[in-house]
């Protein structure tokens, strides 16, 4: 009978973090700018064991509700993780204040991301067509740690303005909507690397600012 060699000990930083101070993370990212900004993905069991989450619940909204989170324990958890991951070389671990005058530390659920099925639609009100459009987070929910939310929000606003311009110039409703939907399908793919660098002349429209696209056309009414 052959004996398999024992696996090498896990001496990764995450393992040491879990073993030494009981904090179990999937990842941690550190951004250094005007403030020291940390984003980390903590495992639920670790949060329960450290007293950050008071009661386990299957419902995420209830799990992360204000009454089920010990804010002092959450701050201590974040301090320990930040201090350990930087080798305790930061001069201070005091939190910046948010607009409520409270420590700017919070937990969010990113297991589900939401996006609108369509960017725009037309409804009839008082026998007249009414153009409706979404922009910002209501159109495409961002994953805020990667910093794309504000940029894509501006792009969506500019794309909507271009659609409204086309509408006002007499473009057929289905054609205006199809062009807007084509741009919306590209929005999640936009990165600093695939955006055009030449921004002049600005009146040429969004198709010159985004990667090439094929306009979606349909003769059937939208459902």
What does the pLDDT look like over 66-123, one tens digit per residue? 999 999 999 999 999 998 888 888 887 788 898 889 999 988 887 777 899 999 999 9
Q: Provide the whole-model pTM.
A: 0.57
Q: What is the pLDDT of residue 8?
A: 41
Q: Do 104 and 95 touch, CB atoms closer than 8 A?
A: yes
What's the domain range around 53? Answer: 13-85
Does some domain include residue 112?
Answer: no
Distance, CA of 138 to CA of 158 (rounded, Å): 15
Instruction: Please tell me the total count of domains within the chain.
Output: 2
Q: What is the pLDDT of residue 219?
A: 35
Distance, CA of 6 to CA of 2 (rounded, Å): 12
User: Helices (H) and strands (E) in the chain — how many of each?
Assistant: 6, 4
Q: What is the pLDDT of residue 27?
A: 85
Q: What is the pLDDT of residue 39?
A: 87
Q: What is the pLDDT of residue 36?
A: 86
As given in the structure block, the two tokens for residue 57 are 């619940």
Does some domain include residue 97?
Answer: no
Query: Which of 69, 64, 78 shows the shortest CA–CA distance to 108?
Result: 64
What does the pLDDT look like over 36-76, one tens digit per residue? 888 888 999 999 999 999 999 999 889 999 999 999 999 99
Distance, CA of 201 to CA of 150 (rounded, Å): 23
Classify residue 64 as exposed, middle or buried by CB count within 10 Å of its CB (0-12, 13-18, 19+).
Answer: middle
Residues 133 and 188 in one domain: yes
Does some domain include residue 39?
Answer: yes
Does some domain include residue 114?
Answer: no
- Tell me which of 60, 85, 110 is where a domain ends: 85
Q: What is the pLDDT of residue 200?
A: 62
Residues 124 and 202 in one domain: yes
Q: What is the pLDDT of residue 222?
A: 37
Q: What is the pLDDT of residue 45?
A: 93
| Secondary structure (3-state) at 27 | strand
What does the pLDDT look like over 124-168, one tens digit per residue? 999 999 999 999 989 998 876 666 788 899 999 999 999 999 999
Long-range contacts of 199-208 (CB under 8 A, 24+ apart): 205/162, 206/155, 206/158, 206/159, 206/162, 207/183
- Tell me which of 85, 112, 144 is where a domain ends: 85
Does some domain include residue 58?
Answer: yes
Place of tokens 């350990």: 84
């Amino acid at each position: 009978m052959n004996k398999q060699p024992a696996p090498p000990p896990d001496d990764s930083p995450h393992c040491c973090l879990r073993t030494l101070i009981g904090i179990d993370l999937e990842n941690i990212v550190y951004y250094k700018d005007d403030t020291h900004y940390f984003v980390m993905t903590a495992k639920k069991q670790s949060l329960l064991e450290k007293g950050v989450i008071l009661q386990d619940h299957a419902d995420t909204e209830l799990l992360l509700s204000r009454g089920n989170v010990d804010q002092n324990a959450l701050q201590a958890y974040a301090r320990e993780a930040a201090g350990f991951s930087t080798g305790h070389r930061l001069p201070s671990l005091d939190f910046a204040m948010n607009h409520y005058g409270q420590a700017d530390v919070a937990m969010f659920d990113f297991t589900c991301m939401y996006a609108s099925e369509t960017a725009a639609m037309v409804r009839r009100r008082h026998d007249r067509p009414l153009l409706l459009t979404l922009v910002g987070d209501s159109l495409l929910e961002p994953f805020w740690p990667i910093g794309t939310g504000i940029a894509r929000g501006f792009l969506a606003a500019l794309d909507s303005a271009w659609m409204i311009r086309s509408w006002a110039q007499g473009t057929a409703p289905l054609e205006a909507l199809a062009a807007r939907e084509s741009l919306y399908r590209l929005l999640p793919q936009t990165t600093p690397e695939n955006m055009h660098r030449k921004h002049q002349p600005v009146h040429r429209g969004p198709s010159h600012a985004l990667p090439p696209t094929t306009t979606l056309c349909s003769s059937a009414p939208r459902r």
